């Protein structure tokens, strides 16, 4: 099928197939459209604006146009491509900034300025650039979709596997020797099972609305480690998992996404941005290319692809950008990589669906969103997963796509349809909270409203790789934080001093976890990333502190004296203790803390 899915941009189409009937914003009605199919790409007017057929009724077609339609008038021509909306895949994707239909945005100035001209058809990856190819297949090899033919160092950190397209099966009759090749040149010849020969280049195509095939999808078992304590320890996302993060303005959505992009242990990052306000996306486009990969010190763009929709782009392109992004992610997953895709914000995409649906005069569902909102969102998130990728041998080749979708509920109201429908699909919910942000508690993820359905699945990994204590510590900390929330209600009425000492100590224990574990400073050179082992040790010391002061209080030690303990200060500094030397530091701190509290109770604690 890849043969028939050339990107529309690359083909010159001369056959006029229909006529523009009327134009309503991004929606164009075509008449006399014979021989076209649903989701075929068409070119509208003499400017050849890219559009997709989203409704067919006899020879009348409804077309969603991915470029501004100002000046497009009835009576103009519509050209057929007979191809679905597809992306081009091959070396050269990494580091690019694309618009929704995979047109490269050459530099930030053009993005923030006038943007790409209409009807501009550019190749997504450079066809004349030379890539250093090393063959991995040999003549005589029996190959099928996903098998590695060779590899190309795409950037200093990404080795790009040149894969057999999913629909190809046969025997290698020729493979290019190691050397430099362009995407136009053949790198292999394959005798297909039907006896014909096919030449393969380093590029292939794939229709964006169809998920790329895999052998098997597994229940995720490993966490996507982010180095962010509240995420890893309290609300973990799995490799191949799905998470939603609602992002009201100023709640720390951008910083959280940057932290994830920088620190999560995925090799490839795909960032799909749909901005509403003019400067929202501009900021991302300016900031992302400047981010450094903390592990290599190199630009993060060396393993990132950005897909951008600024506010001056037509809304219909948002939908295309989401599909483009996930297809690019699948392509790198197929190479055996862990890919993290961030979609920011899916609400903008849902709003685009609402607008298009309104123009189609469809029966509106909740709050005007179309009835298919839920299924579209589900189709998208379902393309996440931990899979055995396609290839011919029996050995398992793992790849994963983790999807983190930001949601922007108007007024922070999580009962609105996009948030609700997203929550039905995703397994992790990180609830950003404007009150916490106002109090400068960062990351401002509300620990009482957030959840992760991967918790149980992550226990074996944490037990094996980090510590068997993880689930117990996490559970205890959570109980204490819930207790704090209950007590807070009383405190607000009568003040903390009216509480019995035991409960005042509960508050002190919860405070330590809240201030020193849940809070994490993205801008501090050490605190920005907290290794899993350090997370467990910190929580262990904090809970031991809590147990010991509770013991002291039960023996009559006053809360005042407990609050004057010297160890409170070094406990507060654990987060910024060296990530290399924390084990010895913490062991010492733990011992000193125990001694100090013991002294408080006359040695009997």
Candidate ranges 1-9, 250-258, 504-512, 580-588; the one touching ligand ADP (CB under 6 A): 250-258
Given 71, 106, 179, 250, the residue binding ligand ADP (CB under 6 A): 250
In angstroms, what is the minimal distance from the CB of 257 to ligand ADP?
Answer: 8
Does 391 contact ligand ADP by CB under 6 A? Answer: no
Structure-token pair, residue 294:
């903390």
In angstroms, what is the minimal distance from the CB of 287 to ligand ADP?
Answer: 10
Does 161 contact ligand ADP by CB under 6 A? Answer: no
Given 8, 30, 241, 252, the residue binding ligand ADP (CB under 6 A): 252
Given 109, 290, 493, 523, the residue binding ligand ADP (CB under 6 A): 523
Candidate ranges 136-144, 247-255, 296-304, 541-549; the one touching ligand ADP (CB under 6 A): 247-255
Q: How far is CA 412 from CA 252, 275, 452, in A?
A: 13, 17, 20
Candidate ranges 78-86, 134-142, 246-254, 286-294; the one touching ligand ADP (CB under 6 A): 246-254
In angstroms, what is the minimal distance from the CB of 288 to ligand ADP?
Answer: 13
Burial, 200: exposed, middle or buried (Cβ in 10 Å; 0-12, 13-18, 19+)?
A: buried
Does 207 contact ligand ADP by CB under 6 A? Answer: no
In angstroms, what is the minimal distance from the CB of 516 to ligand ADP?
Answer: 14
User: What angle separates helix 455-465 from helix 470-494, to the nearest 10 degrees?
Assistant: 120
In angstroms, what is the minimal distance from the CB of 430 to ligand ADP?
Answer: 12
Candidate ranges 87-95, 287-295, 330-338, 520-528; the one touching ligand ADP (CB under 6 A): 520-528
Query: Is the Cβ of residue 29 or residue 229 nearer to ligand ADP in the bound state?
Result: 229
Candidate ranges 90-98, 119-127, 415-423, 515-523; the one touching ligand ADP (CB under 6 A): 515-523
Candidate ranges 9-17, 62-70, 357-365, 519-527; the one touching ligand ADP (CB under 6 A): 519-527
Does 442 contact ligand ADP by CB under 6 A? Answer: yes
Does 24 contact ligand ADP by CB under 6 A? Answer: no
Does the N-terminal peptide bond of residue 443 adopt cis geometry, omega within 30 degrees of 0?
yes
In angstroms, what is the minimal distance from the CB of 83 to ligand ADP?
Answer: 38
**Distance in angstroms (rounded) separating the CA atoms of residues 500 and 379:** 53
Query: Is the Cβ of residue 357 or residue 450 nearer to ligand ADP in the bound state?
Result: 450
Does 251 contact ligand ADP by CB under 6 A? Answer: yes
**Distance in angstroms (rounded) separating the CA atoms of residues 438 and 441:** 7
SS3 of 86-151? EEEECCCCCCCEECCCCCECCCHHHHHCCCCCCCCCCCCCCCCCCEEEEECCCCCCEEECCCEEEE
Does 576 contact ligand ADP by CB under 6 A? Answer: no
The b-or-e profile of 348-364 (16+ CB within 10 A means b, else e) is bbbbbbbbbbbeeeeee
Q: Specify whether the CB–CB gap between 281 and 108 falls below 8 A.
A: no
In angstroms, what is the minimal distance from the CB of 259 to ligand ADP?
Answer: 6
Does 423 contact ligand ADP by CB under 6 A? Answer: no
Candidate ranges 146-154, 242-250, 502-510, 549-557; the one touching ligand ADP (CB under 6 A): 242-250
Given 157, 255, 423, 453, the residue binding ligand ADP (CB under 6 A): 255
Concatenate the DSSP letters of all residues of 179-242 into one string. Answer: EEE-TTS--EEEEETTS-EEEE-S-EEEETTSPPPEEEEE---SB---S-HIIIIIS--BTT-E
CA torsion 489→490→496→499, rounded to 10°? -140
**Distance in angstroms (rounded) separating the CA atoms of residues 59 and 91:** 40
Q: Specify whether the CB–CB gap between 384 and 330 falls below 8 A.
A: no
Structure-token pair, residue 21:
């009937």
- Binding-site residue total for ligand ADP (CB under 6 A)? 14
**Distance in angstroms (rounded) separating the CA atoms of residues 352 and 416:** 16
In angstroms, what is the minimal distance from the CB of 281 to ligand ADP?
Answer: 12
Given 253, 318, 376, 476, the residue binding ligand ADP (CB under 6 A): 253
- Which residues partner with 23 through β-bridges? 28
Residues at the interface with ligand ADP (CB under 6 A): 247, 249-255, 442-443, 520-523
């Amino acid at each position: 099928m890849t043969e028939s899915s050339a990107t529309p941009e690359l083909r010159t189409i001369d056959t006029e197939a229909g006529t523009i009937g009327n134009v309503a914003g991004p929606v164009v009605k075509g008449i006399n459209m014979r021989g076209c199919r649903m989701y075929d790409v068409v070119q509208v007017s003499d400017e050849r604006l890219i559009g997709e057929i989203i409704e067919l009724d006899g020879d009348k077609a409804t077309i969603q146009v991915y470029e501004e339609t100002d000046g497009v008038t009835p009576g103009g021509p519509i050209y057929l491509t007979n191809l679905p909306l597809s992306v081009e895949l091959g070396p050269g994707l990494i580091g690019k900034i694309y618009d929704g239909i995979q047109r490269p945005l050459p530099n930030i100035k053009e993005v923030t300025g006038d943007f790409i001209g209409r009807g501009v058809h550019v190749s997504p990856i450079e066809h004349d650039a030379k890539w250093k190819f090393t063959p991995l297949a040999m003549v005589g090899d029996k190959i099928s979709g996903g098998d590695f033919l060779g590899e190309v160092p795409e950037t200093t950190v990404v080795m790009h596997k040149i894969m057999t397209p999913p629909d190809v099966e046969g025997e290698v009759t020729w493979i290019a020797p190691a050397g430099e090749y362009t995407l136009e040149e053949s790198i292999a010849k394959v005798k297909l099972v039907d006896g014909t020969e096919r030449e393969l280049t380093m590029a292939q195509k794939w229709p964006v609305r169809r998920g790329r095939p895999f052998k098997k999808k597994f229940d995720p078992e490993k966490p996507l480690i982010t180095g962010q304590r509240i995420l890893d320890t309290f609300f973990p996302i799995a490799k191949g998992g799905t998470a939603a993060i609602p992002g009201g303005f100023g709640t720390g959505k951008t910083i959280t996404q940057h932290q994830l992009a920088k620190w999560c242990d995925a090799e490839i990052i795909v960032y799909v941005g749909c901005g509403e306000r003019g400067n929202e996306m501009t900021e991302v486009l300016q900031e992302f290319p400047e981010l450094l990969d903390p592990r290599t010190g190199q630009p993060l763009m060396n393993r990132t692809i950005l897909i951008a929709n600024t506010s001056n782009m037509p809304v219909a392109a948002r939908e295309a950008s989401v599909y483009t992004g996930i297809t690019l992610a699948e392509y790198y997953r197929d190479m055996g990589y862990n890919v993290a895709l961030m979609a920011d914000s899916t609400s903008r995409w849902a709003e685009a669906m609402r607008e298009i649906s309104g123009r189609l005069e469809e029966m509106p569902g909740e709050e005007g969103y179309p009835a298919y909102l839920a299924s579209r969102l589900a189709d998208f998130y379902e393309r996440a997963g931990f899979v055995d990728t396609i290839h011919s041998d029996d050995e398992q080749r793992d790849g994963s796509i983790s999807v983190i979708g930001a949601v922007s509920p108007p007024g922070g109201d999580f009962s609105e349809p996009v948030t609700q429908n997203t929550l039905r699909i995703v397994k992790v919910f990180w609830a950003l909270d404007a009150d916490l942000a106002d109090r400068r508690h960062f990351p401002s993820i509300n620990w009482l409203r957030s959840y992760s359905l991967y918790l149980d699945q992550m226990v074996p990994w944490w037990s094996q790789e980090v510590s068997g204590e993880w689930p117990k510590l996490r559970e205890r900390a959570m109980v204490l934080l819930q207790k704090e929330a209950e007590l807070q209600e009383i405190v607000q009425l009568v003040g903390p001093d009216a509480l019995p000492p035991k409960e005042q100590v509960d508050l002190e224990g919860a405070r330590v976890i809240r201030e020193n574990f849940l809070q994490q400073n993205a801008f501090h050179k050490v605190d920005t990333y907290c290794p899993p082992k350090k997370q467990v040790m910190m929580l262990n010391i904090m809970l031991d502190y809590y147990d010991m002061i509770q013991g002291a209080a039960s023996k009559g030690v006053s809360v005042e004296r407990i609050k004057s303990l010297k160890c409170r200060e070094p406990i507060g500094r654990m987060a910024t203790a060296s990530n290399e030397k924390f084990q010895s530091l913490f062991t010492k701190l733990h011992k000193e803390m125990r001694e100090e509290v013991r002294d408080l109770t006359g040695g009997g604690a």
